[in-house]
Chains A and B, each alone.
Chain A
Amino acid sequence: MSGTANRVCVVGEGSGAMLALARRQAPLPTRRIVTAEQLMAPQCGVVLPCLDAVPGEERFVADDRETISLLEILVDCGIAAVEDWERSKKDPTKYLLLTLERWIRDHGGADIDRRFDLDITLSDRLVDYAEERGAEGMLYLIVDPNAAAFVLLSPVIELLAETHLRLPATLFNIFAGSLNRWIRVYDYRDAEERVEMLREWYEGEENADQYELPDIEGCTAKCLKEKPLSLRILNELSQNANDEAKEMIKGLLELRRISKQSKRPEFTAEMGQQLMDGNPPLPCLLAAFSPGDAVVGCFDDESQSAMEATPDPNLIIPLNLADPLRVRHGFRTLAVACETLAAASRLIDLMPGNDESVITLEG
């Protein structure tokens, strides 16, 4: 709208109008002379409605005993920060949420968010909508994906093969192995299993040879079948290789070191009882050789039925409120899992061809 039109057609006079044009503070012009300001294109005057009086949160509180017990432990061991109590407006559930946010932020949250789309839940049950909860005084930290992150392997394989033919297999083994300690990574081995299963299904049918199966072997880099390098040789290469490979190897060694700082909690019979016969965990990361290769095809195919039964969580960290030391250890375990994911994120940043899989957040 031009400046002159704006004079005869004032938009957004009503108090509740959306996208009202901002009122401009200018001296009133005489009737016949148009000011320079009115001849210029107006500034971007779109005003986003502000929700001053609208609560940004509503809280439903029923029973705070377990929340308070956990917070007492977290305050005692220095995990919960005093300033978050004020920020929470003295609401225990909100305080716990802020504590968890702070803990994850302090252990690589920003790096994780750049590559992974995850849900971290502190709950008294493993299946959100299930009536059956865990034992009294038992809570769980649960990690699961909202969507699978993506890592492209071919460019980095080509790059590292120039340094040492066995380096790509070493990278893949350590990268996938370190992550698989904590979350599920879907890679060419999962795709091979899928193809094998499809082959068995089709074998019993008539004209079995007419079915076309994804060619996983064809898209898999041959050098991944090489024997991985020893840690000693890898350390040597981290000093002697070219700059790009050197950075990559250092990142890989860091990922390996961090992922081994704690052990993934064991899956207990009690957890199994709550989950019953679930599907396998949803993959947090898809590792493929190219954006539309056979591994991606198998992943897409499997994802069609991934939710037929409730998938098991990727990571479950039990917190027994009767044992403050174990609660503290549980939070430490979560920290290691987060730092592992953050280290993986930083390593993917170094891998060529992975710029497009960065998650950008609005606002």
Chain B
Amino acid sequence: MDIHVRIGDNRVFTLKQAVLLYEEGRRTFATLHEVKHPPDGAPYLYAGQSVTTGFLETLAAGLGASMDAEVLPEHVLARTPELIAWWSRGQARLVFFAESNAETRKLNGKMYPHPPLVFMIHGRELFVRALAEDCRPKADTRLKSAPYWNTDSHGRVCLGSMRVPEEISASSSSGWETAYFASEFTHPSGAVRLTTHPKGFLGLWSSLVGKKRNFPVEFLADCKETVQEFLQRKGER
């Protein structure tokens, strides 16, 4: 039986295994040893076994450097073991705003037209940007800021209590989009220009209430990066 105590960040890490490396010139091999803890006395290494390629693959999988082969749908833009990015066409979607004041109360739970969007998941973080044209972007396509609250200047979404899929794969991309729009937009995330609309963020969405098509892309703010830069920066500047 394994017994653990995990309160706050306190942890007791017990030495369980050791990898020993043997070298002769440029040739190396490794052995993996269990560590035994006698009740009275120092721990010692148990007989080892050669580290196999399979072991290293398992280790790499544990570090997230492995992914199952999957057929990528057309809307996927990039896929690595740690990242997936896709785009979605402009469309009408239901939007929820936190009813923190009279203005957002009026906007909450209504259909709005949305611009085409680029989503990216890196680790367990979600990023979103907007596109000026409703077609698959290229590496050098310039991106716009997504006109949404809870999304910072890097496009990083504050997930809060958003119920996102466990899985990160091409097939779960629609689940992430649904989760994004099913949660409430509550507040602007830091200093970020979300729109060029003369009446600002709330003015933009107020003007779109009840419309189903043609998001006015002229009100999208330039975020000064291309798709390639967005994918490579992964939210870092």
Contacts and interface: CB of A to CB of B under 8 A. Distances in A.
Interface stretch (B3-11, B98-106, B129-137): B3-11
B230 to A, nearest CB: 26
Nearest to B47: A48
B89 to A, nearest CB: 29
B214 to A, nearest CB: 36
Q: For B8, B31, B35, B163, which residue has the most chain A Cβ atoms within 10 angstroms?
A: B8
Contact of B12 (A46, A93, A116, A310): A93
A24 B197 CA distance: 88
A56 B37 CA distance: 8
A112 B44 CA distance: 27
A48 B163 CA distance: 50
Contact of B13 (A58, A63, A70, A104): A58
Contacts of A119: 1-4
A26 interface: no
Interface in B44-64: 44-48
Contact of A122 (B4, B14, B37, B48): B4
B1 A116 contact: yes
Given A48-B46, A51-B35, A104 B1 contact: yes
A212 interface: no
A71 B48 CA distance: 39
A56 B35 contact: yes
Report, as a range, how many residues of chain B touch the other chain: 20 to 34
A15 B9 CA distance: 39
A341 to B, nearest CB: 10
Nearest to A96: B5
Contacts of B43: 50-51, 54, 56
Contacts of B31: 18
Interface string A261-298: 00000000000000011000000000000000000000
Interface string A288-324: 0000000000000000000011100000000000000
A97 B1 CA distance: 13
A310 B166 contact: yes
A124 B15 contact: no
A352 B31 CA distance: 41
A272 B37 CA distance: 39
A60 B5 CA distance: 12
B45 A49 contact: yes
A121 interface: yes
A55 interface: yes
Given A48-B44, A50-B42, A57 B3 contact: no
A61 interface: yes
Contacts of A222: none
A63 B8 contact: yes
Contact of A63 (B10, B12, B15): B10
B213 interface: no
A120 B7 contact: no
Q: For A54, A113, A125, which residue has the most chain B Cβ atoms within 10 angstroms?
A: A54
A308 B166 contact: yes
B8 A62 contact: yes
Interface of B: 1-15, 20, 31, 34-37, 42-48, 163, 166-167
5 contacts: A60-B11, A93-B12, A117-B1, A363-B34, A363-B46
Q: Which 9 A-B pairs have the closest CB atoms?
A: A62-B9, A123-B6, A121-B4, A52-B42, A56-B43, A50-B44, A58-B13, A49-B45, A93-B10
